[in-house]
Structure 1
Amino acid sequence: MKFVDRVEELKALGERLDSDIFELIVIYGKRRVGKTRLVLEAVKEREHVYYLAVEGDNLRHFKRLASKLVPEISYAQEDWEAYFNFLKGKVVVIDEFPNLIKEDQKVVSLFQRAVDLILGNTGTKLILLGSSISMMSDRVLSYKSPLYGRFASMKLRPLKFFHLREFFPNLQWEELVEIYGFADGIPYHLEKVKPPFWKWLEGELKRPDTFLKDELDFLIKYEFSDVTTYKKILEAVALGKNTPKEIREHLKAKHSDITQYLKNLMETEFLVKRVPVTENASSKKGRYFIGDNFVAFWFRYIYPNLSAIEEGIFDLGEIKKDCANYLGMVFEGIARQFLIELNRRERLPFKFSKIGGWWHKGEEVDLLALNEREKKALLVEVKWRELSERDIDRILGDLGRKAELIGLEGYEKYYGIVARRVSEKDELIWDLKDFQEVDDHRQS
């Protein structure tokens, strides 16, 4: 299994592991994002106990595992305080900590007591990992938690698009965009792909044991017990229903309150809510989007075709004929990452401090980058296709028109394009060929 990026996270973990004081480190993030791999990489040269919590009988299982490093623990009574007395000065990693909470609601308080009475003045390193974002946020990270104020926390996020080159060093950018549209930056899903992408996907969909049939249920059931309504909402958003009204209509629940469902899906990062970059966070113009390309791909292409996939008669052409439309949305997210990389390197006409989409009454700008202090704006159209000179002229002219609608009076305005391919290059017109320079600089 290839270990990619995570340089800053590894450095931060290493500094805490090297300290001579007690450290409680909480690492959380969605399933499959690479938490376990990160921690095992950080502790691989150190004596440690790594325990993956299960749904029951964890005290007995933990004792048996820990006794391999500290044989004396075999004689300890089965409780966490007794165990930690034997593990002082050691590195202890407990993965899927939410399973301990499910088994014993008092376990967070028990760990707090052990930290305060046994571990606090030792060099012990206790690392707790959790994939249930909702449970980790509520029971461990919240100010209501008994452990609050006693830990350093790290939220692990998906890898960025440009990190895919480290997984697939020989692929062209076009295929990397296709893979990112399927797997996002989730290491588990990226490692499943064996290029060429479309050939691999066709073979995977024909497998009777393909992970694609059950993967979404595996992910969503970890957060929610009653998944039916949540899946219907995610399906609606994946199909372009981005407002609460549109989602309710898709669910045929016009008078139902889905606010709490949306809140839960955002908390667990299945959904994100975005507002026009010129608006404040509470704007009523907010729209909901799927928070992960894999989830979006699954609901758009796998979920509606599960029966055909199960029977082995699904035609990959069903995905291919629509994929350009789908990748257009994916490419917007990639273009945003590309512009942020250019911004860091000061390769734009100005340094922006805000970037996002803009929309109002049927008018949209894919990306609007702003420096409000200097009153400068960059409007960018993103296209997953080849653009002719005529296309470019038309798009740039339309961006000028939209700048007036946004209300950027007094701003110095710039206009740009990010496309799959362009026939005419200019300072603010980019295509996939320009990604190479950014990638070279990132790896240098």
Structure 2
Amino acid sequence: MRPFVDRSEELKALKERLTSNNFELIVIYGRRRVGKTRLVLEAVRGLPHVYYLAVEGDNLRHFRETAERVFPEVRYSREDWEGTLHALKGKIIVIDEFPNLIKENPQVLSLFQRAIDIDLSDSGTKMILLGSSVSMMTEKVLSYKSPLYGRRTGSMKLKPMGFFSIKEFFPEASWEELVEVYGMTDGIPFYITQVRLPFWEWLEKELSSPVSFFRDEVDFLLRYEFSEVSTYKRILEAIALGRTTPREIRDFTGLRHSDISPYLRNLIEADLVVREVPVTSKRTSKKGRYYVADNFLAFWFRFIFPNLSRIEDGTFSVEEIRGSYSHYLGWVFEKVARQFLVELNRAEKLPFRFTKAGKWWHKDMEIDLVALNEREKKALFVEVKWKSLSEREARGILKDLEGKGELVGVEGWEKYYGLVAKKVRGKEELGEGGFLVWDLEDFESFI
């Protein structure tokens, strides 16, 4: 098992709750493979606890058998959920994939509520419920309609790790190779730990392997959320291939606008798709665009899904991915650059502290990143390029950026202009001209 990486804040918060004298009901949820189980097992390491992974049926019996191995006194308790939980009063109870209990018996929510209210709430019991179905955890466990509403003492939505955490997995890798890895794995621990360097050699072997996780991974992921997945796959493919507006998605899929709307809402609720609006617009703006939420899904629908048959019969070459990967990484590198700016902002290494950041677009004009401080009326405009640039090329991009910045609607504000690229020659000269310029070398010095 690889060493536990990152998640230091989440781990510290969990350990504090586990060592308190109070009753704790902690809900942890997030997409499959994001590292929920590993985080909790790290938190309870060295502490007596029951860890149970819920299955599709007969969960009470399986749970009791698991609990008895750790706490033998459970075998003398009443053989129902309330009796079993009473026997575990004061203990640490971890139930993974809690939605499986709900699917088997929806009344389990009320049974847990009763056990907490009558028996556990005045004790030092620690109960942690985990779930990979984001929509079910949100609706059935966290919503005000849930019997458990008001009982939880904490909740955590676990998201993929940031780009810079990948360096801890591959300390010897170059930043360029780390961006390539991130383009496939995002910050999702399971995918990161599958990769071996050199990346392209590993990917070629993985795609030719008869037991590659690429084949069934996305179907498995989607079935955690949806009973029928074909339409969702079609919509995700459209978005991954650059169809980001409702009209473009509709035209690609052949569905009517009214038909795709509920699918898009469900994909957003399941954290598989995000909707963005220009950073200066309200969330209700009709300019919204849709993006696949993580790089693994984008990679899979762009490169794997259209070629599954050829991968199966051995006629697909990884060079076909490699040939267009730099173009694909343009979008990925925007995400990396945004995280880099957030880190610079946190370290107060920018001309001002921004309070919001995002993309901006209007008609055919677009700026990759706009960071704003609305109170101080300051704005930073940044273009992101996954390529090596000469000083002349970089200066031309920055001059164009100055023109686009005048269209954003922040007249009278103090404006700054920046560039993040793979490599920029003449950074110092550009900096002396008042521009902010970074490339992969700055990642190393920053970290």
Question: Is the TM-score greater than 0.5?
Answer: yes
2:437 maps to what in 1? 429
- Alignment match, 1:339: 341
* Other-structure match for 1:47: 48
- Render the CA deviation track for 1:317-339: whole Å, top value 9, x for unaligned: 11011101100000000000000
2:315 paired residue number: 313
Q: Which amino acid aligns with 2:40?
A: V
How far apart are the structure 1 equivalents of 2:391 and 2:10? 44
- In structure 2, list runs of 5 or more residues that go unmatched: none
Q: Aligned match of 1:211 in 207, 210, 213?
A: 213
In the other structure, the counterpart of 2:27 is 26
Give yes or no for contact 2:367–2:382 (8 Å, CA) kept in 1.
Answer: yes
SS at match of 1:257: helix
SS class of match (1:109): helix
Contact residue 166 and residue 187 of structure 2 kept, 8 A = yes
* Matched letter for residue 437 of structure 1: S
In structure 2, the residue matched to 1:116 is: 117
2:401 is aligned with 1:399: yes
Q: CA deviation at 1:345?
A: 0.8
2:240 maps to: 238
Instruction: Say if 2:372 and 2:378, in contact at 8 Å, map to a contact too.
Output: yes
SS in structure 2 opposite 1:68? helix
Q: Which amino acid aligns with 2:160?
A: P
1:405 aligned counterpart, secondary structure? coil
1:55 partner SS: coil
In 1, Cα distance between the equivalents of 2:290 and 2:378? 28
Q: Counterparts of 2:394 and 2:196 in 1: how far apart (Å)?
A: 36
Provide the alpha-carbon RMSD of the alignment: 0.9
TM-score (ref. length: structure 2) = 0.97
Opposite residue 155 of structure 2, the aligned amino acid is S
Are 2:378 and 1:376 equivalent residues in the alignment? yes
**Stretches (4+) displaced over 6 A:** none
Alignment of 1:246-395 (within 5 A): 246-254=248-256, 256-395=258-397
Contact preservation (8 Å) 1:366, 1:380 = yes
Displacement after TM superposition at 1:172 (Å): 0.5
Mark the runs of 5 or more structure 1 residues left unpaired by the alignment. Answer: 440-444
Q: Percent identity?
A: 63
The residue type paired with residue 198 of structure 1 is W
Question: Which amino acid is the alignment partner of residue 74 of structure 1?
Answer: R
- The CA deviation at 1:437 is 2.4
**Corresponding position: 1:66 with 2:74:** no
How much has 1:256 moved relative to structure 2?
Answer: 4.5
1:79-110 CA distance string (max 9 Å, x none): 11110111111111000000000000100110
Is contact 1:248-1:256 (8 Å) kept? no
Distance across 2 between alignment mates of 1:267 and 1:250: 22
Judge which range, 418-427 or 105-114, deviates more: 418-427
Code of the aligned partner of 2:146 = S
Partner residue, 1:97: 98
CA contact (8 A) 2:391 2:427 kept: no
State the 1:255 CA deviation: 5.3
**Deviation digits for residues 150-191 of structure 1 (CA, Å, limit 9, x no counterpart):** 111111111000000111111000000000000000000000
Contact (CA 8 Å) 2:389, 2:425: kept in 1 or not?
yes
How big is the shift at 1:254?
A: 3.8
Q: Secondary structure at the match of 1:203?
A: helix
The AA in structure 2 aligned to 1:438 is F
1:405-416 aligned within 5 A: 405-416=407-418
Q: Residue type of the partner of 2:167?
A: R
> 1:266, CA displacement in angstroms?
0.4
Letter in 2 for 1:371: N
Secondary structure, aligned partner of 1:50: strand
- Deviations 1:307-357, CA, capped at 9 Å, x for gaps: 010011211111011101100000000000000100111111111111100
Q: Which letter maps to 1:307?
A: S
Moved more, 19-28 or 253-262: 253-262
SS at match of 1:135: helix
Query: Do the aligned residues in 2 keep the contact of 1:351 with 1:371 (CA within 8 Å)?
Result: yes
Equivalence map 1:120-131=2 (5 Å) = 120-131=121-132
**CA distances 1:249-301 after superposition (whole Å, capped 9, x unpaired):** 00112454211100000011110000000001011111000001000000000
For residues 431 and 13 of structure 1, the distance between their equivalents in structure 2, rounded to whole angstroms, comes to: 37
Map Cα deviations across residues 356-406 of structure 1 (whole Å, 9 max, x no partner): 000001100000111111111111000000011121111111011101111
- Residue 274 of structure 2: SS of its match in structure 1? strand
> Do the aligned partners of 1:271 and 1:291 also contact (CA within 8 Å) in 2?
yes
Matched position secondary structure for 2:187: coil
- Structure 1 contact 328–383 (Cα < 8 Å) conserved: yes
Q: Per the alignment, in what secondary structure is the counterpart of residue 386 of structure 1?
A: strand
Q: For residues 128-149 of structure 1, what are the alpha-carbon distances to aligned partners after superposition, in whole Å with 9 as ceiling and x for unaligned?
A: 1111000000000001111111
Q: Secondary structure at the match of 2:407?
A: helix
Which residue identity does 2:381 align to in structure 1? Answer: L
Paired position in structure 2 for 1:442: none
Of 66-75 and 38-47, more deviation after overlay is shown by: 66-75
Q: Distance in 1 between matches of 2:22 and 2:348?
A: 40
Paired with 1:396 and 1:121, the residues of 2 have a C-alpha distance of 62
> Partners of 2:172 and 2:138 in 1: how far apart?
39
Distance across 2 between alignment mates of 1:81 and 1:221: 30
The code of the aligned residue for 2:196 comes to: K
2: distance between equivalents of 1:120 and 1:346? 44
2:26 paired with 1:3: no
1:227-247: CA deviation from partner (whole Å, max 9, x where unpaired): 011000000000000011110
Q: Could you say if the C-alpha distance between residues 253 and 73 of structure 1 is closer, same or farther in structure 2, counting changes exceeding 3 Å?
A: same
Aligned counterparts of 1:185 and 1:291: Cα–Cα separation in 2 = 12
The number of residue pairs the alignment matches comes to 439
